[in-house]
Amino acid sequence: MRISLFGSLRISFAGRPVTAVNTNRLQSLIAYLILHGDKPQPRERLAFMLWPASSESQARTNLRQLLHHLKRALPAECSLLETNHFAVQWRQDADCAIDTVDFQAAIAGAGVARTQEDRAREIQSLTTAAQLYEDDLLPALYDDWLTPLREDYRRRLSEVLHRLATLFEEQYEYAAAIPWAERLVALDSLRESHHQLLIRLHAANHDRSSALRAYHQCMRVLRREMGVEPGPATLELFERILKAEPGASRELPSASPAAKPVSQLQKVRALVGRTLEWQRLASVWQSAVEDGPRVAVISGEPGIGKTRLADELYQSCVRQGHAAARSRCYAGQGQVAYAPVAEWLRSDAVRVGWANLRPQQLAELARLVPEIREQFPELELGPGQPSPLAESWQRLNFYESLSAAFGKSRKPILLYLDDMQWCDPDSFEWLNALLTSPAASGVLVLGTVRSEETGRSHPFTRLLGELRQSAQAVEFPLAPLDPDETAALAAGLTAAGRPPGHIHTTATVRLDRAGEGFAITKIALATEASVPGISPADFQAQAEKAKANCPVSKALAGTSITLTAKLV
């Protein structure tokens, strides 16, 4: 039997979830008994705790009925709930694994290892404890008795995270220490010493930009939440970093690629045009890292350069060591549920997080990625053919497991999805759930879409509407090249050793009355070119470069400009 109290209450018996313990009263009762399983609990105490406003006789009657419901909710084979006329106890048993118990045992093991000066075993035990603590203790319950216990577990986790970061820092493994320090800051952002630790680690890791960004985050939090400025120690640390030459600490190991700051994103190839769009994309990536998840949607007609621009951001992230996963939808794939999500899960950026998932979560992931069973043969992941998601609680568990897989990935992470107009509705539904969960921290979803193929009833349109309401969506409607950009395109092709046979562009300009005169409200361009030895993708790249440098296009930045471009 397995019981999880960190996060939402989860009980499984013989590998199957126990779902009948589904009311706050039942969950509060079983949680209290489990957390105080070292001794029997008097019925009077339980009755008063659960029904403090009721009379003694009524409270005892309510408790008797609640215990009856709890016994019926548990599997018949479970004999751990023991009751008599005077007391109730959840008997501690080796066959019943409880995450809070394992958490405390891991901390105790770390203490023993520290006494014996066995750092490797101490780190292993502390890592186990940190991984067990998935969330606060039963955050969905608001019982008064839970509050001091919840705070005590948070305090213990804080000590675990601080010790892990310190151990790695002492071993000069700064890149390994940073994720623990980041989690420590997220756990208690008002403790200035946590920010100091993170700033110091980034600086030691030769990542001056991230160190300065961590300082500014500290300053914003202290101002917003407490109305104070950073203390002298933090200011001194900040000034030392400002005065230091980048990369001056020669005695420290060089930063790993994953530690490079997001502000250093640069275009991988010469991107023709789209300068403003690229700058906005880089800004959205930065916002996803610092302020929460974002969705960037690049829209436009076929051939306008949506995929080219999105590829540029993806390749830039990969080259600079950031986590990135890509997927693509196809016209005939719309009915294959979660196909793009499965492709993301198989990417190297997400696969590394599989080892940090619980067996139940891995079993859910195996619905989409069956090879998980082969990678973890030692785990009992249930039958080869999982049961269908017939009930809402099953779909909820499935979605939470999918989100956990991305939450355990290295952050920040780019999730790139090409041709969203052909994506299945189930993937959109889960994506919406991910973006509203804590697992989405540091996530940027980048998508391309043919806007003319997504009507009002399309699942993408519904998702985009919800993202607009939550201010998570940033839209990039792409406009095509104008005649001046066509000329620049010809020059660019010639300079690249691909002189065009001919390029022909026509422009249809729409004038509408504006006040006492007229204004250009729309320009429709059509470009045809004959360029020997060039691929459509390279031609598109050159076309985008020409458009970005066109003075007319810049002058008419507020005008709708569309383009149809093709090789003939």
**pLDDT given at position 532:** 67
Q: Which two tokens stand for residue 3?
A: 């019981």
Sheet strands (E) in 169-234: none
**pLDDT given at position 182:** 93
**pLDDT given at position 263:** 41
Per the CB < 8 A criterion, the answer to whether 431 and 467 are in contact is no
Distance CA 161, CA 5 (A): 20
Q: E strand or H helix at 203, and its extent? A: helix 192-204
Distance CA 429, CA 402 (A): 12
**pLDDT given at position 550:** 60
DSSP 383-411: -SSPPP--SHHHHHHHHHHHHHHHHTS-S
CA 163 centroid distance within chain: 25
User: Rounded to whole angstroms, what are the CA distances from 390 to 9, 366, 397, 398?
Assistant: 21, 17, 12, 11
Query: Which value, to the nearest 10 degrees, does the dihedral of the CA atoms of residues 474, 477, 478, 479 take?
Result: -140
Query: Which value, to the nearest 10 degrees, does the dihedral of the CA atoms of residues 400, 406, 412, 418 take?
Result: -110
**pLDDT given at position 252:** 33
Phi and psi torsions of 207, nearest 5°: -115, 75
**Long-range contact set of residues 1-4: C-beta below 8 Å, sequence gap at least 24:** 1/78, 1/80, 1/95, 1/96, 1/97, 2/96, 2/97, 2/98, 2/360, 3/34, 3/96, 3/97, 3/98, 3/99, 4/98, 4/99, 4/134, 4/358
The sign of the CA dihedral 113, 114, 116, 121 is positive
Domain annotation for the chain: domains and CATH numbers: 2-98 (1.10.10.10), 119-255 (1.25.40.10), 262-477 (3.40.50.300), 483-567 (3.30.300.20)
User: Rounded to whole angstroms, what are the CA distances from 179 to 213, 238, 252, 266, 420?
Assistant: 15, 20, 18, 24, 32
Amino acid at 386: P
pTM confidence score: 0.47
**pLDDT given at position 249:** 44
Query: Which residues lie closer than 8 Å to 203 by C-beta, 6 or more apart?
Result: 211, 237, 240, 241, 244, 249
Peptide bond into 412 cis (omega under 30): yes
Distance CA 205, CA 200 (A): 9
Q: Which two tokens stand for residue 45?
A: 């105490």
Question: What residues in the chain have per-residue pLDDT under 50?
Answer: 248-264, 268-269
Distance CA 255, CA 272 (A): 32
